[in-house]
Amino acid sequence: MKRIIISGGGTGGHIYPAITIYKEIMAILPDAEVLYVGTEAGLEATLVPKEGIAFRTIPVQGLQRQLSLKTLTTLGKTCLSLVKANAIISDFKPDVVIGTGGYVCGPILLAAALRKVPTIIQEQNVIAGITNKILSRFVDVVAVGYEEAKKSFGKAKRVVYTGNPVRPEVLVDTREQGRNYFNLTDTDFTVLIAGGSRGARTINTAMIEVHKHFKNRENLKLIHVTGSGEFDTVKAALDGDFTQSNQADIAKELGGFTYGKATMVLPYLHDMPKALAAADLAVFRSGAIGLAELAVRGIPSVLVPYPYAAEDHQTYNARIFVQEGAAHMIVDKMLSPKDLIGEIEMFMDNSALLKQMAAGALQLGKPKAAHDIATIALEIAK
Q: What is the CA radius of gyration of the chain?
A: 22
> With a threshold of 0.85, does the pTM exceed it?
yes
Question: How far apart are alpha carbons 338 and 328 in whole angstroms?
Answer: 15
Question: How far apart are alpha carbons 263 and 191 in whole angstroms?
Answer: 10
Within 10 Å of residue 177's Cβ, how many Cβ atoms?
A: 13
pLDDT at 323 over 70: yes
| Average pLDDT estimate for 300-316 | 94
**Residue 225, SS3 per DSSP:** strand
- What is residue 34's predicted lDDT score, i.e. its pLDDT? 98
pLDDT at 196 over 80: no
Question: How far apart are alpha carbons 60 and 79 in whole angstroms?
Answer: 9
- What is residue 326's predicted lDDT score, i.e. its pLDDT? 98
Question: How far apart are alpha carbons 267 and 251 in whole angstroms?
Answer: 10
Angle at 20 between CA 16 and CA 21, to 5 degrees: 120
Question: How far apart are alpha carbons 275 and 255 in whole angstroms?
Answer: 15
- What is residue 306's predicted lDDT score, i.e. its pLDDT? 94
* Beta pairing partners, 264: 223, 258
Question: What pLDDT digit, counting tens, does each position of 135-156 carry?
Answer: 999 999 999 999 999 999 999 9
* Beta pairing partners, 144: 123, 161
- What is residue 244's predicted lDDT score, i.e. its pLDDT? 63
Question: What pLDDT digit, counting tens, does each position of 70-120 carry?
Answer: 543 444 456 688 899 999 999 999 999 999 998 899 999 999 999 999 999
User: What is the chain's percent helix, strand, coil content, to nearest 5?
Assistant: 45, 15, 35
Strand order in the sheet with 96-99: 54-57, 33-38, 3-7, 96-99, 119-123, 141-144, 159-161
**Residue 61, SS3 per DSSP:** coil
Question: How far apart are alpha carbons 175 and 190 in whole angstroms?
Answer: 11
Question: What pLDDT digit, counting tens, does each position of 1-38 carry?
Answer: 899 999 998 888 899 999 999 999 999 999 999 999 99
**Residue 173, SS3 per DSSP:** coil
Question: How far apart are alpha carbons 63 and 70 in whole angstroms?
Answer: 9
If one compares 376 and 197, the residue with the highest pLDDT of the two is 376
- What is residue 78's predicted lDDT score, i.e. its pLDDT? 62
If one compares 310 and 364, the residue with the highest pLDDT of the two is 364
Question: What pLDDT digit, counting tens, does each position of 214-238 carry?
Answer: 999 999 999 999 998 999 999 999 9
Cα dihedral 196, 198, 200, 201, rounded to 10, equals 170
pLDDT bin (cut points 50, 70, 90) of residue 65 is: very low
Mean pLDDT for all residues in the chain: 92
pLDDT at 61 over 60: no
pLDDT at 367 over 90: yes
- What is residue 74's predicted lDDT score, i.e. its pLDDT? 46
Q: Which residues are annotated as a binding site?
A: 11-13, 125, 167, 197, 314
Please tell me the number of Cα atoms within 13 Å of 302 on its side-chain side: 23
- What is residue 368's predicted lDDT score, i.e. its pLDDT? 97
pLDDT bin (cut points 50, 70, 90) of residue 123 is: very high
Q: Which residues are annotated as a binding site for UDP-N-acetyl-alpha-D-glucosamine?
A: 11-13, 125, 167, 197, 314
Question: What pLDDT digit, counting tens, does each position of 234-264 carry?
Answer: 999 997 666 667 788 888 889 999 999 999 9
Q: Which helix (H) or strand (E) holds 36?
A: strand 33-38
- What is residue 71's predicted lDDT score, i.e. its pLDDT? 42
